[in-house]
Structure 1
Amino acid sequence: MENSFSSQLSNNSGVNNSNEMNISSSNMPLVEESSNSEVTQSEAQQNTQPLIDFAMQLDNANSVIPDAIALYYLRKAGFHSEDARLVKLVSLAAQKFISDIATDALNYSKMRSGGSSNAAARQQTNELTLTMDDLNNALAEYGIVLQKPPYYH
């Protein structure tokens, strides 16, 4: 199986000379059929109905990251697709990722300021300061190492 997969990958890699990846649904089956069970048309439609509903919801979703920016970085990375829903999906995933990092950094900032002598004054004004240490700790949870430039050491 691995040899057939690697030969199919080398024949249909989807990468052209301009380093862009073309995604087409004709190369990949939506439902893998096994020899033991037959998938009927109604069962396949029931299985794909949540996916179709999700794709329709993508059209109405608002993202903080504009689609044009997401498309720019996708193309810069070599990804090319004519489906705007894929761009919207990547945009929403990037927004979620950034939101999770910001929330974790806020939690680290709250933990750090909770033990300081200035905590009573900060609770009255609700001011928290995001430091690089808080951001480094949050990014470390996701496997991202952020280092200061050498002239700051």
Structure 2
Amino acid sequence: MNHNQPSSEGRHDDDAALSDFLGSLMDYTPTIPDELVEHYLAKSGFHCPDVRLTRLVAVATQKFVAEVASDSLQHCKARQATIPKDKRDKQQKEKRLTLTMEDLSKALHEYGVNVKHQEYFADSPSTGMDPSTREE
């Protein structure tokens, strides 16, 4: 027997599970509204009248966002652990974590999304100075 191809019984079970899952999407209201998903699908040139497919994309997007948020939290906790003990004790009294763009960028980088931090007006000492007085 060829082990590379699934048996017809296994394929039938997969088809039945897929049909059940797609059917359950009709009763499910995803966090991301159908209209928003349809807008971005249309913007990318994709149109499908089947609401189940739209909701499948919404569920996949919701899972992606949740994973990025979870990974960002892990980066935030790791960053907090590297803070010197005296400052960390003060922050632990507040019991609040602050998610930074650096945490989010690291998490997104793991998924192949590169985010560049925009330079703010006050980030560069020469910003806002008369060009003739800049030291570059």
- Give the TM-score, by structure 1 length: 0.66
1:97-138 deviation per Cα after TM superposition (whole angstroms, max 9, x unaligned): 111111101100000001213323333332111111111110
Q: For residues 116 and 47 of structure 2, what CA distance do their matches in structure 1 show?
A: 32
Percent identical pairs in the alignment equals 36
More relative contact order, 1 or 2 (CA 8 Å, 6+ apart): 1
1:78 to 2:51 alignment: no
In the other structure, the counterpart of 1:10 is: none
In the other structure, the counterpart of 1:100 is: 67
What 5-or-longer segments of structure 2 have no aligned partner? Answer: 1-6, 125-136
Distance apart, 1:92 and its partner CA: 0.8
Specify the code of the residue in structure 1 equivalent to 2:94. Answer: T
Q: For residues 35 and 115 of structure 2, what CA distance do their matches in structure 1 show?
A: 27
Q: For residues 73 and 22 of structure 2, what CA distance do their matches in structure 1 show?
A: 32
Distance apart, 1:59 and its partner CA: 1.8
Distance apart, 1:150 and its partner CA: 4.8
Give the root-mean-square deviation of aligned CA atoms.
2.2
Q: For residues 74 and 65 of structure 2, what CA distance do their matches in structure 1 show?
A: 14
1:128 to 2:97 alignment: yes
In the other structure, the counterpart of 1:64 is: 31
